[in-house]
Amino acid sequence: MSAATVLDKQINNYLVQLNTKQKKAVLTVVKTFVEYQDQEDSPWKDPAFVGELDRRVVEFRGGKIKGYTWEEVKQKARQSLKSRKKK
């Protein structure tokens, strides 16, 4: 039995346990995945985009550049807004 067949069976086992509302939610998510995957202009299909992200990840993990936490980003954005309001 292939891995895909096993996975299909596992998915089906869970689907039969869902009520109609839950099944509609799952269907919406699955449709979104398929629609996104089929997009010709998806950035994930652009080798230059993927290469740039890979380069940045290597720089970040190697300590060449500093990353920011979400809290630091929010704080800086708030400070920027406050300084604009004062002008």
Segments forming the whole domain that contains residue 27: 3-86
Model pLDDT, residue 27: 93
Indicate the number of domains in the chain. 1
**Can you tell me the distance from the alpha carbon of 81 to that of 70, in angstroms, rounded to the nearest whole number?**
17
pLDDT tens, 13-64?
999 999 999 999 999 999 988 887 767 777 888 899 999 999 999 999 999 9
pTM comes to: 0.43
